[in-house]
Chains A and B, each alone.
Chain A
Amino acid sequence: MSDTFQRIKEIVVEQLGVEEAQVTPEASFINDLGADSLDQANIVNALEEAFDVEIPDSDAEKIATVGQAVEFVDSHK
């Protein structure tokens, strides 16, 4: 498991109040982790701050799963 995944898992647990075990790479923020669009905005916000990356809205819309978030961060940091 990459450091990025581990850090994102912490952020998701903190933001959504879910169990760590639920946060798998395949997990969809909306369908599996109970997020709504406002939660997603806050997660993107937290990712930008934690990894010092900028995530434009057009890219944010494509991040539907935890794995996609990890991929985005790894390819932009």
Chain B
Amino acid sequence: MSRRVVITGLGPVTSIGIGVDKFWSSILSGKSGISRVKGYDASRFDTQIAAEIHDFPVEKFVSKKEQKRMDRFCIFALAGAQLALEDAGMTSETYPKDRVGVIVGSGIGGIGSIETQHEILRSKGPERLNAFLIPMIIINMGSGLVAIRYGFKGPNTSVATACATGTHAIGDSFRIIQRGDADAMIAGGAEACITPLAMGGFCALHAMSRRNNEPERASRPFDKGRDGFVMGEGAGVVVLEEYEHAKNRGARIYAEVVGYGMTCDAHHITAPLDDGSGIAAAAEFAIRESNLSIEFFNYVNAHGTSTHFNDKFETVAIKKVFGDRAKKIMVSSTKSMTGHMIGAAGGVETIVCALSVSRNQVPPTTNYEEPDPDCDLDYVPNEAREAEVTAALNENLGFGGHNAVLALSKLK
């Protein structure tokens, strides 16, 4: 029998709260983190809103010197890891250092630094480029920096599967502990791409909401009036531990990771399959691995981006997985509040599932006003719900056709 894996620490870094307490109270009250972009002049862009983290308390997480050497996404990765480790009551001494690993991925990496340095290349020439440019922009540096700070010498890699990154990172870390290559993993995703180039690129894809005059109402997954996603930023990092080790040290256990499924649509670079079969197959793999009856699953944290096609096809997929029971499943998209945090989304949404399972509280989908005939499930509209959550799925889909699903349950 393979080793069991539990979640013992949570590190959310989001526009609606940093750390578990603030984050969860915002989620339950339906708070929006979306406002007009402040980080740069967005007036010439079709989309001028985002879920930016304003007044980020950077000094709590990295020194002045470190700030000079890191892109914002890596600062978020370190912040998420620090919060998750503190929440788990775990220090760099809790386990032998070679038994702890790290996978904190990113969808896009240090694009803000690429933009700043490219400007210097154009205006001042190659001699003036920052010696830290390359270590600042590479996606794997999130995992590298977390390991360097804490001395974790176990398995260390990175994931870059766009919007599915965080979920793949946690799923792959789950596998690493299951097969015995590590006893604990720091896992999740970090993203900081509310920058002119990245936002301009997503505008060019016509993927983002243009509801610029109503920022807080712009991310409206499954609502008939949805018109695209809203960019978010931050990190979602968790501490995973092998169950016996966690139990022996008296760790608080939020949830058990009981299954992980991944597939690829092999269809289109940005559009999901219209029959939902790719994400449905990933969900079925995760449920099968759990050895739990499908009746046990009653909450799905959907990818729910607030784009026309994602929400429609994801609804089809949930019906494919749950059949007649689909309408009884609570389905919510917390992107209605956090925005779409791209590579960090799966990390934050796994945190949501862990808290839902642990506390029997289900987050709402906010801004749900007008039902769409194509989206006819229980999206937990606008109000959080107290309900026993026996087992939950976290679903994420990424450009490239990547699908990742994690199954979480109360400790079996």
Contacts and interface: CB of A to CB of B under 8 A. Distances in A.
B64 A17 contact: yes
A49 B132 contact: no
A18 B63 CA distance: 10
Interface string B256-295: 0000000000000000000000000000000000000000
A16 interface: yes
Nearest to B66: A17
A34 B63 CA distance: 13
A48 B68 contact: no
A48 B131 CA distance: 14
A24 interface: no
Interface stretch (A1-9, A38-46, A67-75): A38-46
A18 B398 CA distance: 42
Contact of A34 (B65, B129, B130, B135): B65
A15 interface: yes
Contact of B128 (A16, A38, A45): A45
Contacts of A41: 131
B124 interface: yes
B186 to A, nearest CB: 24
B127 interface: yes
Interface in B118-138: 124, 127-132, 135
Interface in B331-375: none
A50 B377 CA distance: 62
Interface in A30-75: 34, 38-39, 41-42, 45, 48-49
The 8 closest A-B pairs by CB, nearest first: A17-B65, A17-B64, A41-B131, A38-B131, A42-B131, A16-B65, A38-B132, A17-B63
Given A42-B130, A45-B131, 18 more contacts: A15-B68, A17-B63, A17-B64, A17-B66, A17-B67, A17-B68, A38-B69, A38-B131, A38-B132, A38-B135, A39-B131, A41-B131, A42-B132, A45-B128, A45-B129, A48-B127, A49-B124, A49-B128
24 contacts: A15-B68, A16-B65, A17-B64, A17-B65, A17-B66, A17-B67, A17-B68, A18-B65, A34-B65, A38-B69, A38-B131, A38-B135, A39-B131, A41-B131, A42-B130, A42-B131, A42-B132, A45-B127, A45-B128, A45-B129, A45-B130, A45-B131, A48-B127, A49-B124
Interface of A: 15-18, 34, 38-39, 41-42, 45, 48-49
